[in-house]
């Protein structure tokens, strides 16, 4: 099994047709079929079930499909690393980020970095914290931008300033005019929370003496703020995320609960190669 065979298989699986795959790869269909057969014989598994009426990737094929994408991405990132080593400050910097941090932190930094290093290209992947950490481990990305807490000894990190949680609501009558609210003032109110913080919020509310009314748990911060803007509930988000949705009628009250404080963290793998581009880009967070 080699990279070429994995590329052939990946194309067949994605095109759901050997004919279409051969056209895309610009190779003869019989040769492509033969390569698939050799791969199945070597692995001793059926990767694709195909008849005149049906084309279906088997369970084993789906597993290989997933691994093939990882292997090819890793190979491509390795090639980029070696080119960077040979050519200096040229190449591509791969970054994984949670969507909120990507919108707030990256645009101006990338713009300024591009002015200084115009030959560096960027690949930005928006995904969850867990997915970012897996991409770091596999070497597909070099830098991750996540939200704390981070419990690992295998990452280096730069912690940005700590931010409190805020309650965002379009219904100002929920609060009086004081600057901060206590956690118990959320009792009985419909809450919209990020899935990442759901467990922490529930546990702290119980410690305060009430079971919170979680109306909706969501992966996307924008959705939390947009739903809060409709008046259906109170969004609970880190303070620095409120800039994601401008021009809303939301009122924000800082929650006076230090255990809810969190911050954005820049992470990369310990004892793993970092390109010159990555090292220079990390300096923008240390400055």
* pLDDT tens by residue, 146-194: 987 777 788 999 998 888 999 998 876 566 666 789 999 999 999 999 9
- Does domain 3-70 match CATH 3.50.30.40? no
* pLDDT tens by residue, 201-253: 999 999 999 999 999 999 888 899 999 999 899 999 988 888 788 777 888 89
- Fold category of 88-156+266-286 in CATH: D-Maltodextrin-Binding Protein; domain 2 (3.40.190)
* pLDDT tens by residue, 55-64: 888 888 889 8
Taking the model in full, what pTM does it have?
0.62
CA dihedral (254, 255, 261, 262) positive or negative? negative
Domain with CATH 3.40.190.10 in the chain: 88-156+266-286, 165-260
The fourth-level CATH superfamily of domain 165-260 is Periplasmic binding protein-like II (3.40.190.10)
DSSP per position, 152-165: -SSEEEEEPPPB-E
């Amino acid at each position: 099994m080699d990279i070429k065979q994995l590329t052939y298989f990946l194309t067949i699986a994605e095109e759901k047709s050997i004919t279409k795959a051969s056209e895309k790869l610009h190779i003869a269909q019989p040769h492509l079929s033969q390569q698939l057969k050799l791969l199945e014989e070597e692995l001793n598994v059926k990767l694709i079930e195909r008849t005149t009426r049906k084309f279906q990737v088997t369970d084993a094929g789906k597993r290989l499909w997933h691994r093939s994408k990882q292997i090819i991405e890793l190979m491509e990132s390795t090639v980029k690393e070696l080119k960077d080593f040979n050519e200096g400050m040229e190449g591509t910097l791969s970054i994984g980020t949670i969507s909120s941090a990507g919108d707030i932190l990256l645009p101006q930094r990338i713009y300024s970095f591009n002015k200084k290093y115009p030959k560096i290209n960027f690949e930005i992947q928006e995904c969850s914290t867990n997915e970012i950490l897996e991409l770091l481990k596999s070497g597909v990305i070099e830098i991750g931008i996540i939200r704390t807490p981070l419990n690992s000894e295998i990452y280096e990190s730069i912690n940005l300033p700590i931010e409190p949680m805020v309650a965002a609501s379009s219904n100002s009558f929920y609060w009086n005019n004081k600057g901060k609210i206590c956690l118990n003032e959320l009792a009985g109110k419909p809450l919209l929370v990020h899935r990442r913080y759901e467990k922490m919020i529930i546990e702290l509310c119980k410690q305060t003496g009430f079971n919170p009314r979680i109306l909706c748990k969501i992966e996307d911060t924008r959705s939390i703020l947009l739903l809060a803007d409709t008046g259906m509930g109170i969004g609970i988000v880190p303070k620095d995320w409120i800039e994601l949705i401008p021009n809303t009628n939301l009122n924000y009250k800082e929650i006076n609960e230090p255990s809810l404080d969190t911050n954005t963290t820049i992470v990369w793998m310990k004892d793993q190669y970092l390109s010159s581009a990555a090292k220079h880009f990390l300096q923008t967070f240390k400055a």
